[in-house]
Amino acid sequence: MDRKYPRGADVVLLPGARTGRDPARSIKPGPRRLPAGVVAATQRERLLDGLVRTVAERGYQHATISDICRAAGVTRPVFYELFSGKEDAFLAAHRYGTGVVVQRMTVAFAAEPDWCRAVRKGLGVMLQLLAGTPAFATMAVIEVEAVGPAGRRARAQLLTRFRSFFAEVPQLPGGLESKEMVDAVVGGVYSTVYRWIDSGRTEQLLDLLPVLSMFCLSPFLGPAEAAERLGVRDWPKRVADW
């Protein structure tokens, strides 16, 4: 599904949000050709878009470099000028796209003074971005496993970055390690998002916001206080509709 996005200097799209052959990024030959650096950057963007859409459609194992180049409208020699191979291009798209997601989450998180509501805001941004770019969601969350050890390392590095949103968690009772709890929560959120994307419910990901918000906060505050802080006072009766 293609979505309409506002244009502007401050709008950074996820890879796969546009087709690789987007006419707005066509490179016209001639004496007034764009500078080499601009041409290379545009071709790289188009290749990342083409890779994301091709991998989402065919799977990482079945997507070929020729398929990716065709989707991007870029030649194989240009591909190899920019990337060493399919894995390199995949990891570049994953690194760039997840960086955009984390950066947008961080901005939303920092804008909310209350930690509980900040967590909810950050989660909402993540779910909205993935729901709005289903091809990237499939490539980054589902197909990263098919890349092998390098893909698993990329996923582990991403999950580690989410720890920063839990820097303010209260100390757990009984000598329990907050860090281990944070990792368990982050892993649980990722697993839930994975299942929804894998089952074809990517565009409904925002429906997970209430339960994931409660899931993130309850281990540290308890369900009742988490519900109170999030404004869901008659939890659990209303949380499913929140």
Helix, strand, coil proportions of the chain in percent (round to 5)?
Answer: 70, 0, 30
pLDDT in the model for residue 89: 98
Separation between Cα atoms, residue 117 and residue 33, nearest integer Å:
49
C-alpha pair distances (Å), 193 with each of 58, 168, 173, 219: 21, 24, 29, 19
Taking the CB of residue 146, how many other CB atoms lie within 10 A of it? Answer: 15
Domain-by-domain residue ranges, the chain?
Answer: 23-86, 88-241
Q: 70-92 pLDDT, tens per residue?
A: 999 999 999 999 999 999 999 99
Separation between Cα atoms, residue 48 and residue 18, nearest integer Å:
10
Separation between Cα atoms, residue 102 and residue 210, nearest integer Å:
20
Q: 51-77 pLDDT, tens per residue?
A: 999 999 999 999 999 999 999 999 999
Separation between Cα atoms, residue 68 and residue 20, nearest integer Å:
9
Q: Is 98 helix (H, G, I), strand (E, B) or coil?
A: helix
On whether the 88-241 domain is CATH 2.20.28, my answer is no
Backbone angles phi, psi at 145, to 5 degrees: -65, -35
Q: 176-192 pLDDT, tens per residue?
A: 678 889 999 999 999 99
Q: What is the mean pLDDT of residues 227-235?
A: 74
The CATH code for residues 23-86 is 1.10.10.60
pLDDT surpasses 90 at 12: no
